[in-house]
Amino acid sequence: MTRHAFRWSIMGLIGVVLGMSSGCTRTIEVKPVPTESQTTMTHSLPSDERVPLVMDSFHLSRNGAPQNPPIEAERRILNRVQDTRLFSTLIPLGGQTDSLGEKIVSARITMSEAIEPHSWMAAFKGIIIGGSMFLLSPFIDLEYDYAATVGLELERWDGQVKRYEANSSGTVRYKLFGATPVMIDELKGHVTEACLTDLTSQLVRDTTRYMASSAPAPKSGIRTVTVKSRRPSTTPSSLSVVPTATTRP
């Protein structure tokens, strides 16, 4: 009898180990990159045709709420733009721009994130798993959705503006014991990479647009100011006259 109980204990322990190991598995599915963006071409331009790119602003929102963009996100975007070899140098936010010359490209980046952890479904499934003493954990999938839209607005030295935009989304499916911060970071990394691949592909197609010879440098010291005339609220006949001096009789 004791040997029989010991055998069942060993089998139960093996079952728990197998269940927990299978419960830690996860799979990541990401929206595929457009076919025309999968092979991003780079151009090695002559040094005199490459102009600097200066970061002007970076706005990040998460589920519609404004966020402070992390430095890592800015650095990652700039590194991917640098890989295109279209610009002589890339200046991050707050960098020195005094000695860059007249021809520069100003960059404004927007990034919108949408996160859906399906917390209510996870809680419901957690109750079911808890009631079954974790026996169902290897068979119940939990989900975490992430979507991102990255916009890149480039203003050339002559004032012309071009906007590029790319979006992607993904879902990670995991078991009970597979929910870790690393899992979420992996999903975000794959989705962001898909966005940047599409974005840089669009940028490379406009290579000639950002060459130094594509437009003359702006004339320094000349600014155009538009002044609109202000219409009086009353007719001239009804305006009161305020004397500037009084003459005694």
How many alpha carbons lie under 13 Å from residue 249 in its C-beta half-sphere? 0
Q: Is residue 171 part of a domain?
A: yes
Q: Is residue 248 part of a domain?
A: no
Q: How confident is the model at residue 208 (pLDDT cuts 50, 70, 90)?
A: very high
More confident residue, 55 or 95: 55
Q: Is residue 176 part of a domain?
A: yes
Q: Is residue 116 part of a domain?
A: yes
Q: Is residue 24 part of a domain?
A: yes
CATH number at residue 69: 3.30.160
Residue 13 pLDDT: 45
Q: Is residue 6 part of a domain?
A: no
Q: Which domain, by its residues, includes 192?
A: 18-31+49-214
Whether 82 and 127 have beta carbons less than 8 Å apart is answered as: no
User: For every residue of 113-143, which 3-state class applies, written as one string?
Assistant: EEEECCHHHHHHHHHHHHHCCCCCHHHCCEE
% of the chain surpassing 90 pLDDT: 44
More confident residue, 242 or 105: 105
Whether 165 and 123 have beta carbons less than 8 Å apart is answered as: no
More confident residue, 57 or 140: 57
Secondary structure class of 165 (helix, strand, coil) = strand
The segment with the largest mean pLDDT, out of 22-26, 44-48, 223-227, is 44-48
Q: Is residue 197 part of a domain?
A: yes
68-83 pLDDT, tens digit per residue, is 999 999 999 999 999 9
Q: Is residue 143 part of a domain?
A: yes
Mean pLDDT of 20-45: 62
* pTM exceeds 0.85: no
The least confident of 44-53, 112-121, 142-151, 226-235 is 226-235
Number of domains in the chain: 1
Residue 19 pLDDT: 45
